Structure 1
């Protein structure tokens, strides 16, 4: 999940005019159903993504305090009772997206920095790293010869044991080029560079399904069939929508979440759903909110997380949408201690995990990392 947009806020209500209703469901859970499991001693840290598979749960982000210049990458593993933070292959940088294929097949992408002077740092370059069950190590990708300004924004591991990585680079002529790589999730290499012209200006997340069909989201949604990309047709009301989270329930049930810029609301939450034929709008509350990720609980109900910069909506800053008694998405949950929320995932027990920053942000900066479990 790539956080690339500035944050500020105002608030007045407007809404989307066309939508698809969600089937009726029981009332959403109360706040006390969230358990705060935030990592200890995480001052200056924020977590951008959480993923869980095969009994392994990881979260990634960055730390910014007096010991880091400008900031340090963070990757934490849940032991069942607390978070552990193994040593990182890069001293300076940040991790933004994460994929867990198995306990010994964990991948993370982000940016690493190096000093170019006493108080200066380079512009950063792509950081891909893998956990083999014992330690993290950096992995080099086969960018074209002469590539500079390399970057990575998204990673996913598919059911066939392949890892997919999306990023970009500047070529020898000075043009920016997108890049898509596929390799073996067990770390044995075999990297292939695939067509990456998705029609999107930027990509925040990949979702790889059966047969290697890839969905990329960012300033739109695009589909890769193994040969070429097709930008998806969205409702006209969503012109300009930006997406940060996607979840595939089946080939005929895919959800994506994000936001629209709004003159009155600053950011208006957006949810869309694919039914096998077309993408439709799922109605959201007409209030200031920016959505970053989506997961489904053990009963198959969506839990969508994000942030609001409007204290009248939620002074804590977190923004959580679940289904109300009428089957529509509503903001009825406020996890204790949570501020801005950026990542969500569901474990084998049907529990939803979320991560981000703790309550009490000043100037958009969270005081420490937050993690919670929806029981």
Structure 2
């Protein structure tokens, strides 16, 4: 899994309490680390095992970061020595089977790597000098797909051996259920693509025809797939330049079921910023924004938590007004067996280091 597009940010007061708070704008946990740090992804295989991953930077060096939720406390986990950069994406088939990919700058002697948690410790599984994995998908108990963001290929591990697999396009987002993988990315000419692996081979599956026609000034990106009930859900993002210099951003909610794509109605919020989080009941949680404007060239909007039931009913709850891009949520997830939502990201109070933070949105 990975998140490529994210316009949502939360304005968080400096010095906010690290204790659980009712205010949805306040983080429930702030990293105590010195130097800059941020979280990029979060996984929750069950209610007792929630992991947040990212990067910590100190003295000009970047290192991967992993924290595990133990009760109401977040504890830093020890990772293998000698790793550079940060963790970009993770997937967790179960509490004792978690995979994560990361890496740093190749021009500084860095490398990409795959990590595995077996329930007791993290192990370095493999390194790459010529791949930049930004997303990962697990199939079953042993199958792992690592997608190279530098070329149209996947590095597939079947539990015993590695295989290079050509993909129809460059994969930037992916999610799996069973042996089926849905992915989105970019084809020739940076054209947005959606593709599916059926357990045997990859095929393109193009929902672009459901969207408004392109103009010379517009671009489309497809987000990370999500599974809810028997359906696959995906957000399409359309960017278009306007005469006033402020881009127009639109979001479209797409559903794949019974072999075809459909465009679904959305709630009052106009721009859906992140991949949907299934609510476990056939519905979806979404972070969205509305009333977007660009005073002084800076993006401002109202952030809302939206919910779509399995029958298509929408509701939303305001999370506050966003006036700058100094803080934000990178990804959010529902805790299994509950309707609690945790988001990860960062906060950068004026004059202070950037800190990795945990938000509770529900």
Assess same fold via TM > 0.5.
Answer: yes
Q: TM-score, normalised by structure 1?
A: 0.71
Partner of 1:182: 157
Partner of 1:150: 131
Q: In structure 1, which of residues 224, 234, 256 is the aligned counterpart of residue 197 of structure 2?
A: 224
Instruction: Go from structure 1 to structure 2 and tell me whether the alpha carbon gap of 1:333 and 1:286 turns closer, same or farther (over 3 Å shift).
Output: closer
SS in 2 for 1:133: coil
Whole-angstrom CA distance in 2 between matches of 1:70 and 1:150: 20
Whole-angstrom CA distance in 2 between matches of 1:233 and 1:221: 6
Q: Does 1:295 align with 2:277?
A: yes
SS in 2 for 1:241: strand
Instruction: Go from structure 1 to structure 2 and tell me whether the alpha carbon gap of 1:126 and 1:372 turns closer, same or farther (over 3 Å shift).
Output: same
Structure 2, unmatched stretches of 5+, are: 9-21, 186-191
Question: Are the equivalent residues in 1 in contact too, given 2:67–2:76 (CA < 8 A)?
Answer: yes
Higher RCO, 1 vs 2 (CA within 8 Å, ≥6 residues apart)? 1
Question: Are the equivalent residues in 1 in contact too, given 2:2–2:88 (CA < 8 A)?
Answer: yes
Q: Does 1:136 align with 2:122?
A: yes
Question: Are the equivalent residues in 1 in contact too, given 2:52–2:344 (CA < 8 A)?
Answer: no
* Further displaced range: 299-308 or 53-62: 299-308
1:258 Cα deviation (Å)? 4.6
Question: Are the equivalent residues in 2 in contact too, given 1:296–1:352 (CA < 8 A)?
Answer: no
Question: Are the equivalent residues in 2 in contact too, given 1:351–1:373 (CA < 8 A)?
Answer: no
Count of residue correspondences: 323
| RMSD (CA atoms) | 3.9
Whole-angstrom CA distance in 2 between matches of 1:5 and 1:361: 23
Question: Are the equivalent residues in 1 in contact too, given 2:6–2:330 (CA < 8 A)?
Answer: no
Q: In structure 2, which of residues 135, 147, 150 is the aligned counterpart of residue 167 of structure 1?
A: 147
SS in 1 for 2:78: coil
Question: Are the equivalent residues in 1 in contact too, given 2:149–2:172 (CA < 8 A)?
Answer: no
1:68 Cα deviation (Å)? 4.7
Q: Does 1:370 align with 2:357?
A: yes
Structure 1, unmatched stretches of 5+, are: 9-30, 171-175, 185-189
Partner of 2:60: 69
Residues 291-328 of structure 1: CA deviation (Å, up to 9, x unaligned): 2322122544311236788578995885643349x956
Instruction: Go from structure 1 to structure 2 and tell me whether the alpha carbon gap of 1:224 and 1:266 turns closer, same or farther (over 3 Å shift).
Output: same
Partner of 2:220: 241
Q: How is 1:245-256 mapped onto 2 (pairs within 5 angstroms)?
A: 245-250=224-229, 252-256=230-234
Partner of 1:260: 238
SS in 1 for 2:98: strand
1:140 Cα deviation (Å)? 1.3
Please identify which structure carries the higher strand content: 2
